């Protein structure tokens, strides 16, 4: 690589800052007007006939009935189910969409769309403007979002928020590994960190957990 090539890379990096800033500004301005929401995470590959898709629909309807909007990544699968459930009961259905080389496209049930080029800007919006997290079965992206939320809560970078893992049979192995390996074997987390997570197969229990949490915690955005 020549010095000229390196200088061009550094110049492009500098100009990218303005694009990043514009995404933050647009995201803040749009999200701040929406009101209390809950982030629903899960796989883009989950089909409508999958039981988890149907449970995500029901959960999102219950969230709206409890006074929350629903935030998803705006794509297909569990994200679509979350937006559809909210939209069907005239709730706020937020889609934080990002263009990916496969599997991601906007779904028709989003009534508050926000588009992003940068994953890290999008992740800030998931956290800053949500009152809780309900995580359905998913892949690497879902795990990334889940552990981002848990890390920020654990390190007190954001206020405490309820975290729900939906699907006991899917998540039990991960939770057992966290407890047995991270906690008991290596001491890499504290016992109280296990209390950050609720596992359930029941949409009513998932939403009640969030509602019960806010009987003793203030309802407000973070950062």
Domain ranges of the chain: 36-213
Supply 148's token pair: 């981002």
pLDDT in 10s for each residue of the chain, 223 residues: 566 555 555 566 777 888 899 999 999 999 999 999 999 999 999 999 999 999 999 999 999 999 999 999 999 999 999 999 999 999 999 999 987 665 456 799 999 999 998 999 999 999 999 999 999 999 999 999 999 999 999 999 999 999 999 999 999 999 999 999 999 999 999 999 999 999 999 999 999 999 999 988 877 655 4
Q: Could you please state the CATH topology (level 3) that the domain comprising 36-213 is classified under.
A: Rossmann fold (3.40.50)
Alpha helix locations (H) across the chain? 3-31, 51-65, 78-88, 119-128, 140-154, 168-177, 203-213
In degrees to the nearest 10, what's the CA dihedral of 202, 204, 208, 210?
A: 70
């Amino acid at each position: 690589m020549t010095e000229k090539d390196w200088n061009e890379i550094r110049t492009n990096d500098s100009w990218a800052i303005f694009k990043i800033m514009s995404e933050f500004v647009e995201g803040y301005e749009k999200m701040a007007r929406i009101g209390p929401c809950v982030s629903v995470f899960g796989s883009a590959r989950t089909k409508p006939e999958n039981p988890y898709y149907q449970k995500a629909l029901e959960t999102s309807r219950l969230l709206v009935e409890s006074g929350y909007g629903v935030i998803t990544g705006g794509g297909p699968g569990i994200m679509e189910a979350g937006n559809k459930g909210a939209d069907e009961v005239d709730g706020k259905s937020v889609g934080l969409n990002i263009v990916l080389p496969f599997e991601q496209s906007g779904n028709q049930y989003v009534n508050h769309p926000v588009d992003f080029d940068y994953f890290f800007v999008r992740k800030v919006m998931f956290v800053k403007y949500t009152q809780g997290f309900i995580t359905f079965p998913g892949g690497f992206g879902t795990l990334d979002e889940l552990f981002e939320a848990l890390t920020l809560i654990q390190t007190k970078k954001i206020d405490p928020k309820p975290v729900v893992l939906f699907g006991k049979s899917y998540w039990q192995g991960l939770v057992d590994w966290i407890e047995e390996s991270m906690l008991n074997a290596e001491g890499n987390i504290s016992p109280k960190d296990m209390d950050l997570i609720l596992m359930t197969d029941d949409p009513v229990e998932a939403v009640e957990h969030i509602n019960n949490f806010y009987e003793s915690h203030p309802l407000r955005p973070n950062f």
